[in-house]
A and B are shown apart, each in its own frame.
Chain A
Amino acid sequence: MKVIKTLKEDELNVKVIGRLETVTAPMLEGELKNSLEGVAALIFDFSELEYISSAGLRVLFSAQKTMSRQGKMVIRGVNEDVMEVFEVTGSVDIMTIEKG
């Protein structure tokens, strides 16, 4: 997995490439940990994310909780497989998700 972060003023763009699973989720968690301070909008670009497991969901939930307090969080470019995981787990109701 690869994470590319781009910060434009108070908008943080995070592009995740590959698979977000047990082994790789801590990496994203680490990348986000120290980057969210002062960020008003967190945009995830999932257009090159293959799939996501519950470990990845955990990271997204935690980011969502943080962002709910200080701004907004949007997930963009979600493919069918990832969308299915969001739908099955009811994540679509608590996060802003846009299909790719």
Chain B
Amino acid sequence: MTDKKVMTEQETESDLFRENEWEANRYVARCMRVLSLVAVACWILDMFGVFIIPKIIMNISMPFFLVMALLPTLFCRYNLSSVKYVIMCCVIVGICVLSCFISKHVIIVWTLPLILSCHYYSKKMVRFVLLLSEVLFSASVYVAMYWGEWDQMLLDGAYYAGERVITSELLMDNTLFFVLPRALILLGIYTVCTTIVGRTRGLLEKQARDSEEHQRIRAELNVATHIQTSMLPCIFPAFPNRAEFDIYATMNPAKEVGGDFYDFFLVDDNHLAIVMADVSGKGVPAALFMMISKSLLKSAVQSGLSPDAVLAKVNNELVENNDAEMFVTCWLGIYDFASGKLVFANAGHNAPAVRRSGGAFEFLVFRPGFVLGEMENIRYRTGEIELAPGDEIYLYTDGVTEATDENLALYGNNRLLAALNSAGNVSPREICQSVTADVERFVGNAPQFDDMTMLHLKMLPKHIITVHPTMESMETVLAFAENALTELGVPPKAMVKMNIAADEIFSNIVRYSKAKRADVECGIMGGQVWLRFTDDGCPYDPTEKPDPDTTAPMDDRDAGGMGIFLVKNFMDQVEYAWRDEKNVLTLKKRLD
């Protein structure tokens, strides 16, 4: 793990500097092109006598310099690590040639290679350039003495009747007074250059490390988001075996992780707990507090306490170690399937919206208690409402009602009620989706400021009939199924198939099961309509019956087995179970 990490760091580093090398090569080439233009200008001016440098000297030195100055442009196309040395060699050799012939004019240009080499952010490179500059430029002084343009400073007293006489004394003088001081100046510039290079390199490396650190934090936040969302129940339909209710919930955090949460779980076969909560603040601190609150709430509910006692207990537990002084608002309800009652308690949370079957959504007004986590020993009150089949309840956090548009207008309670009511009699998932869509439409391009979380619980309308299965009851059962399915909003196309299926299955029960009692139920769940037959007759699993041969000639045909075959074809799922000494056959069909 560590090895791998170190390797990655080295890679990004070298990647970083290799890319810079490529840019520096191009930069040097550009500088040399500019310099060659200047040289050409001087050459031309000299030709026209503006400068008085002997033409022969210009005609020899200029072409050579121009070649050296333009070669980097050629080499900089190659992305090899050795190219930078070749390029710097060209620069130094080019300047060296000028220095040999027009020494006194180019002395300042001696510093150029060192300055250019700084762009590589490499001390090794600067050292290399210094070494080459020192050697070649110093040598150029001696060459200039013999063959270069007449330089009074270098050749002071060496003029005898038109001929240069270079004495050993002159050589010594020039070495002492020109070569050495210039070499030392280059050395001085070199120290400045290496400092610049070292500091820049350090900064770049730090930047690379920081961005890597930043990426690591981002990656960890992604994992945190995943952990947080996966902690909330998020597989729907959540209870495929429970026909009496349908539930859906979503959390949409404003940042990577949020402080909102919902929860729902069966305390036992007969009790369903629903939780909606909002931790103060946002981001990582809120998310951590949320995790604790969620666990405490769930374990308190599972210990069998009533909602008010749960909130009181969790409040004290949260206050105990709450150094960050955060708090949670929470609405907790526990539904009893036997009594059809929802008992609830509220710790400073928004009032949920409730709709009675066939009515409109209204807020469930109930004086809330104090928030959780702020003060010890708070008492909460328990409220109670009845949720009959067909009734529904919508829980949410203030991220929904306090969503703001670009003009800072609030979405508000009225818009929420309107959105809920206009959604119509649809599944919890569709209600949540249509409210979310409405809020998003309202918010427009304004940024999402707060987490947005909602939960919808719908007690499904119950359609059940119990009969003594005889041919006489057949019509009653079929009429019941047809009415119930129509009421559930099953479209005509699917209706015909449900009718046929009901006819086939129930006629089988009547004819063969010897049952004394049969229940027929139906409902809609998770986009599927279901029809269930429960009878106390002899065990019989129709799904195991082999399919009839639908290609046999007429004389071998028998309509037996055709019924189940039709049902299997027309339904999406046919499930059989032998439960409590009863045949339970469930047919399901998707409504697309």
Residues of A near B555 (CB, < 8 A) are 65
Name which residue of chain B comes closest to A68, CB basis.
B554
The size class of the interface chain B forms with chain A is 20 to 34
Looking at B18-26, B50-58, B496-504, the stretch in contact with chain A turns out to be B496-504
Q: Mark A29-68, 1 if CB is under 8 A from B, else 0.
A: 0000000000000000000001111110110010011001
Instruction: Kindly state the separation between the CA atoms of A58 and B500 in the bound complex, as whole angstroms.
Output: 14
A21 within 8 A of B: yes
Chain A residue at minimum C-beta to C-beta distance from B559:
A58
B162 contacts chain A at the CB level, 8 A cutoff: no
Contacts of B506 in A (CB 8 A): 22
* CB-defined contacts of B570 to chain A, threshold 8 Å: 88
User: Complex formed: what's the CA distance from A69 to B499 in Å?
Assistant: 34
Could you say which residues of chain B place their CB within 8 Å of the CB of A22? Answer: 471, 474, 503-504, 506-507
Encoded as 1 (CB less than 8 Å from any A CB) or 0, chain B from 400 to 438 comes to 000000000000000000000000000000000000000
Instruction: Enumerate chain A residues within 8 angstroms of B559, measured Cβ to Cβ.
Output: 54-55, 57-58, 61
Which B residue's beta carbon lies closest to that of A26?
Answer: B471
Q: A98 at interface (Cβ–Cβ under 8 A)?
A: no
CB-nearest residue of chain B to A57: B559
Partner of A88, one of B552, B553, B565: B565
Q: Does B557 contact A (CB under 8 A)?
A: yes
Decide if B550 touches A90 in the complex (CB within 8 Å). Answer: yes
CB <8 Å contact, A51 and B496:
yes
- Looking across the interface, which residue of chain B has its beta carbon closest to that of A92? B550
Give Cα distance in the complex from A50 to B551, angstroms. Answer: 25
Cα(A81)–Cα(B500), bound, Å: 10
User: What residues of B have a CB within 8 angstroms of the CB of A23 in the complex?
Assistant: 471, 474-475, 478
Q: Are A54 and B496 in contact (CB under 8 A)?
A: no
Q: Mark B486-524, 1 if CB is under 8 A from A, else 0.
A: 000000000011011001101100000000000000000
Q: Complex Cα distance A54/B500, Å?
A: 8
A23 vs B499: C-alpha distance when bound (angstroms): 13
Report how far A19 CA is from B9 CA in the complex, Å.
77
A16 to B422, CA, bound (A): 44
Residue A70 CB within 8 A of the other chain? no
Residues of chain B lying within 8 A (CB to CB) of residue A94 = 553-554, 557
The A-contacting residues of B in range 561-592, CB under 8 angstroms, are 562-563, 565-566, 569-570
B294 to chain A, nearest CB (A): 50
Within the complex, which residue of B471, B497, B507, B566 is in contact with A89, where a contact is CB–CB below 8 Å? B566
**Across the interface, do B562 and A54 meet the contact criterion of CB distance under 8 Å?**
yes
Chain A residues with CB under 8 A of B569: 88
Contacts of A85 in B (CB 8 A): 500, 566
Q: Is A9's CB within 8 Å of the partner chain B?
A: no
Instruction: Write out the residue numbers on chain B whose beta carbons fall within 8 Å of the beta carbon of A68.
Output: 554
Inter-chain CA distance A93–B497, complex, in Å, is 22
B523-560: which have CB < 8 Å to A? 548, 550-555, 557-559
> B-contacting residues of A (Cβ < 8 Å)?
19, 21-23, 50-55, 57-58, 61, 64-65, 68, 81, 85, 88-90, 93-94
Q: List 25 A-B contacts (CB under 8 A).
A: A19-B499, A21-B500, A21-B503, A22-B471, A22-B474, A23-B474, A23-B475, A23-B478, A51-B500, A53-B563, A53-B566, A54-B562, A54-B565, A54-B566, A58-B559, A58-B562, A64-B554, A65-B554, A65-B555, A68-B554, A81-B496, A88-B569, A89-B550, A90-B551, A94-B554
The 9 closest A-B pairs by CB, nearest first: A90-B550, A58-B559, A54-B563, A22-B507, A54-B562, A53-B503, A21-B503, A94-B554, A81-B496
Interface residues in chain B, defined as those with a beta carbon under 8 Å from any beta carbon in chain A:
471, 474-475, 478, 496-497, 499-500, 503-504, 506-507, 548, 550-555, 557-559, 562-563, 565-566, 569-570
